[in-house]
Amino acid sequence: METIVKEKFTELFDQQPDGVFAAPGRVNLIGEHTDYNDGFVLPAAINFSTWIAASKRDDNIIKAIALDELDDQQQPTQTEFEINSDLAKDPKAPWSDYLRGVVIELLAKDFNLCGANLVIQGNVPRGAGLSSSASLETALVLTLTQLSQENIDGITAAKVGQAAENNFAGCQCGIMDQMVSSLGKKDNAVLLDCRSLETELIPIPSDSSLIVVNSNVKRGLVDSEYNTRRQQCEQAAAHFNADSLRDVSLKQLQSERDNMDEVVYRRALHVITENQRTLDATEALKNNNFSELSRLMFESHESMKNDFEITVKPIDDLVEIIRKVIGEQGGVRMTGGGFGGCIVTLVPQELKEKVLTAVNSEYNKISGYEPTIFVCEANNGAFTL
């Protein structure tokens, strides 16, 4: 991918790029919708990334071409704007919301940015729950600061990416995706405390296989009920006069059940129990305890299905297909914001082929969708090295 985007840059701008920069997508092993509730998550950066070939300009113009975003003539779409102007959305290039948002947030933090020519391409599946948007945001932060010879650390980069998505793109995501895209580590998952932003590297057993299956049920976080779920969580926290659900215990929640809206109660129940499951799953992974990990990941899926109500039938079907194969020897659950997208499974290497065979032979018959399977590796983040 690096070679392709570099060659395309040379073709489109008739010059060599000053550099090629990349940031990975991520898969979340457990800890769903806990990040914006100041909770715990356990993601890993993966070996699918957004790549940007770039060169400095002598003016304040940013011109960007997205090779994966095609117009009606099947040509790559592009956008152009002046850095210090009042930036408005470009309806012909919706993907550029992330670019404009990143520029706005970097300027707000007093980074001095130069003009730039950019060619962007990625292989993170979009709309699948593997965080293609955070991959793009993180790659853009890295690219623009490197070109401008501005120093930025991984945590600040993650905050910039999150703010760009919250404030300009319009999705009220938490900081998990940007943090792991910035600071993931090869062969490790990352236990992230989304309140303190403290991280702990959790080795993924070398004899295990990390498999992601895209249900190919497309989803869009901004247009889905993602923001509604966040509002419901905030409503639940407010019931307890708490800053977030991180500060509410399961016992407290249960004692107030009769005084809360039933839907809001179940949303809070998912988040509070998911936080504990994430901590317990971390210990299970440390101890190579796959039976415990299996139980916790399945409980997470059931909670997302029944309490948070963010799964769809094809996703549930995929989980059941894989559970029949792995039993208690591995974990499987939906991953991502919900309403489609992917499932993640972590299994011993000897079960990998059985999982792939089962998905390929059964999923389409049940759902009508064709699966796309990714055998992943935990990878470094953009700011790790």
What pLDDT score does 10 carry?
97
In angstroms, the CA 125 to CA 131 distance is 8
- Per-position b or e across 336-345, b if 16+ CB within 10 A of its CB: bbbbbbbbbb
- Residue 218: predicted pLDDT: 77
> Do 372 and 248 belong together in one domain?
yes
Q: Helices in 262-332 by DSSP H: which ranges?
A: 262-286, 290-306, 313-326
Q: Does 383 map to a domain? A: no
CA–CA separation, 110 and 306 (whole Å): 45
Are both 12 and 141 inside the same structural domain? yes
Determine, yes or no, domain membership for 117. Answer: yes
Among 163, 193, 223, residue at a domain's last position: 193
Task: List active site positions.
Answer: 177
Measured CA to CA, the distance from residue 201 to residue 120 in angstroms comes to 30
Q: What is the CATH number of the domain that holds 102?
A: 3.30.230.10
**Residue-wise pLDDT tens for the chain (385 aa)?**
889 999 999 999 999 999 999 999 999 999 999 999 999 999 999 999 999 999 999 999 999 999 999 888 889 999 999 998 889 999 999 999 999 999 999 999 999 999 999 999 999 877 666 788 999 999 999 999 999 999 999 999 999 999 999 999 888 888 999 999 999 999 999 999 999 999 999 999 999 999 999 999 876 554 567 889 999 999 999 999 999 999 999 999 999 999 999 999 999 999 999 999 999 999 999 999 999 999 999 999 999 999 999 999 999 999 999 999 999 999 999 998 888 889 999 999 999 999 999 999 999 999 999 999 999 999 999 999 7
Statement to judge: residues 112 and 219 lie in one domain: no
Residue 53 counted as domain residue: yes
CA 74 and chain centroid, separation:
28
Per-residue model confidence (pLDDT) at position 222: 42
**Within a domain: 381:** no
105 and 231 in a single domain? The answer is: no
Give the pLDDT of residue 221. 52
Contacts of 110 (CB under 8 A, 6+ apart): none
The verdict on 124 and 216 lying in the same domain is no
Residue 79 lies in a domain: yes
CA–CA dist 385, 140 (Å, integer): 17
Based on the domain organization, do 42 and 189 belong to the same domain? yes
Do 160 and 218 have their domain in common? no
Could you give the CA distance from residue 206 to residue 149 in angstroms, rounded to a whole number?
Answer: 38
Domain boundary among 193, 218, 236: 193
| Claim to verify: residue 30 and residue 178 sit in the same structural domain | yes
Domain span holding position 357: 204-376
Residue 23: which of 166, 168, 161, 116 has the closest Cα? 161
Same domain membership, residue 132 and residue 237: no
What CATH number does residue 230 fall under?
3.30.70.890
Q: Which residue from 381, 374, 322, 346 is spatially nearest to 125, judged by alpha carbons?
A: 374
Contact 283, 295 (CB under 8 A): no
Q: 140: helix, coil or strand? A: helix
- The answer to whether residues 187 and 297 belong to one domain is no
Tokens coding 248: 């509410």
Instruction: Answer yes or no: is 307 within a domain.
Output: yes
The structure tokens listed for 51 are 């790549």
**Overall number of domains in the chain:** 2
98 neighbors 137 (Cβ within 8 angstroms): yes
Residue pair 240/254 in contact by the 8 Å Cβ criterion = no
Residue at a domain's end among 193, 226, 257: 193
139 and 258 fall within a common domain: no
Identify whether the C-beta of residue 79 lies closer than 8 Å to the C-beta of residue 99.
Answer: yes
**Both 87 and 227 in a single domain?**
no
Structure tokens at 19: 């550099």
Residue 167 falls inside a structural domain: yes
Could you tell me if residue 384 is inside a domain? no
Q: How far is CA 184 from CA 49, 277, 287, 377, in A?
A: 12, 21, 21, 11
**Which of left, alpha, beta for 256 (phi over 0: left; psi -120 to 50: alpha)?**
alpha
